[in-house]
Chains A and B, each alone.
Chain A
Amino acid sequence: DAEITQSPRHKITETGRQVTLACHQTWNHNNMFWYRQDLGHGLRLIHYSYGVQDTNKGEVSDGYSVSRSNTEDLPLTLESAASSQTSVYFCASSEAGGLYNEQFFGPGTRLTVL
């Protein structure tokens, strides 16, 4: 069955380190998204991509970057981790085209920056 996976599921790192969170989907979806979730804020969009070589900034993109070299993967990189980036990160994907396409979410990565 098609799925969307994230790794690692838990990560502890130190301030200033570079961290990369992986997202892999086997739906063959063109659209992929990264969200973060903090208490009291719901989910907030970090970056998104509508296809290979396409990336766009979301509402909380500062300190994060993404790259899309193939359809299946959208890794999220924290260039220099900060304590404010301690959060739960969710990746999602959806089909391209059509009036509306359901987003499928991964299981999340819990990141702690000490």
Chain B
Amino acid sequence: DAKTTQPTSMDCAEGRAANLPCNHSTISGNEYVYWYRQIHSQGPQYIIHGLKNNETNEMASLIITEDRKSSTLILPHATLRDTAVYYCIVRVPFYNTDKLIFGTGTRLQVFP
């Protein structure tokens, strides 16, 4: 599985968009990009995933560059409850092999 690089921490004002970058320069053609987040003391929570097209759901948007070497998770209107550690994970999805390899993630602090 390709390695990912994320900033250690970021700040964002409440109500503004939070843009969390992730570099995955060694990603291969069949690897997907996944995002999970972990709010303090809780188990991680799935956010979104994608292959090459931009994706959007009720929680966030995922923008993947054309060369797929980096991506950005966008929380369009950050709230204080979005303060968490955000993990970018790159892997190949196979039938029945849903192992996740977590890095250290980005600690997002949303301030009033």
Q: How far is the CA of A105 from the CA of B42 in the complex (A)?
A: 9
Least CB distance from B43 to A in Å reads: 3
Least CB distance from A40 to B in Å reads: 7
Query: Which residues of chain B are near A96, meaning CB under 8 Å?
Result: 96
Q: Chain B: how many interface residues by the 8 Å CB criterion?
A: 21
Contact A100 B102 (CB under 8 A): no
Report A44-57 CB contacts with B as 1/0, cut-off 8 Å. 11001010000000
Q: Chain A: how many interface residues by the 8 Å CB criterion?
A: 30
Contact B100 A103 (CB under 8 A): yes
Report B86-112 CB contacts with A as 1/0, cut-off 8 Å. 010000010110111111110000000
The reply to whether the CB of A12 lies closer than 8 angstroms to some CB of chain B is: no
A 24-59 contacts with B by CB, 8 A: 30-31, 33, 35, 40-45, 48, 50, 58-59
Give the interface of A toward B (CB within 8 A). Answer: 30-31, 33, 35, 40-45, 48, 50, 58-59, 90, 92, 94, 96-108
Give the interface of B toward A (CB within 8 A). Answer: 32, 34, 41-46, 49, 87, 93, 95-96, 98-105
